[in-house]
Amino acid sequence: MATVAITGAARGIGLEIAAQHVAAGDHVLALPRKASPALEALAASSGGLLTIHECDVADDASVRAAAAASGDGAIDIVYNVAGVTGPIANELEGADWAAWNEAFSIMVQGPLRVLQAFLPRLGEGSKVINVTSQLGASTWPMGGMYAYASAKAALNRLMRSVAIDLKAKGVIIGLVHPGWVQTDMGGPHAEITPSESAAGIRKVAADWTLETSGDFLKWNGENHAW
């Protein structure tokens, strides 16, 4: 039985990753900003495998309180899933800087806050899998969504540095594009379901090694140019 911690577990990809780990018999520490009815139902039916610890990744005190409330046992995988779309309007003539700050606090600083809070419980072979986006790759030929794309690019570079710094401890860092997924963020016409994305992410996470720590992969295991 593995122990995994999942931010953004109230809905979408995070909720599906949680459900699949519960189905596999793993212990899940769900870390939503606010628990959803779907997550509460999953916890109630999990036979104690899933516990909920509300966690606002944009708030350091909230992250540390959630980590403390979740116990002190070893963590096998931390999934950093929490995210926001950010402003999507054309911002060439003006920008919503408050929304930019929120995007960076949640999607760049947030994963680092979570890693810091759980680092004492990560040992050799533990993994921190960060759900990022192809929009954060300099190779992706698409404009717009400036705050979201910039935050994901920053997350990618941040976690490359973290991978180097934690290699001696044996902690593995992963960056994964989840695909274009049928969630509130991806929309109903996206290419794959949350179940397909979560299954791919879980397989990629299971296969990640220290030699490939810091790599940027797609949900199907392919390398993503960036």
Question: pLDDT by residue (tens digit) across 160-172?
Answer: 999 999 999 999 9
Q: Where are the domains of the chain?
A: 3-218
DSSP 107: I
From the number of C-beta atoms within 10 Å of its C-beta (0-12, 13-18, 19+), residue 184 rates as exposed
Say how far apart CA 174 and CA 159 lie, in whole Å: 8
DSSP 3: E
Is 148 assigned a catalytic role?
A: yes
Say how far apart CA 160 and CA 115 lie, in whole Å: 14
- Helices (H) then strands (E): counts for the chain: 7, 7
Judge contact between 67 and 3, C-beta under 8 A: no
Regions in the chain scoring below 70 on pLDDT: 181, 183-190
Judge contact between 143 and 88, C-beta under 8 A: no
3.90.25.10, 3.40.50.10280, 3.40.50.720, 2.30.40.10: CATH of 3-218 = 3.40.50.720
Judge contact between 14 and 8, C-beta under 8 A: yes
Per the residue annotation, which of 146, 148, 216, 219 is the catalytic one? 148
Judge contact between 71 and 53, C-beta under 8 A: no
pLDDT digits (tens, 9 = 90+) for 24-46: 999 999 999 999 999 999 999 99
What are the tokens at 206? Answer: 């299971």
pLDDT at 31: 98
User: pLDDT over 70 for what percent of the chain?
Assistant: 96
Say how far apart CA 99 and CA 83 lie, in whole Å: 12
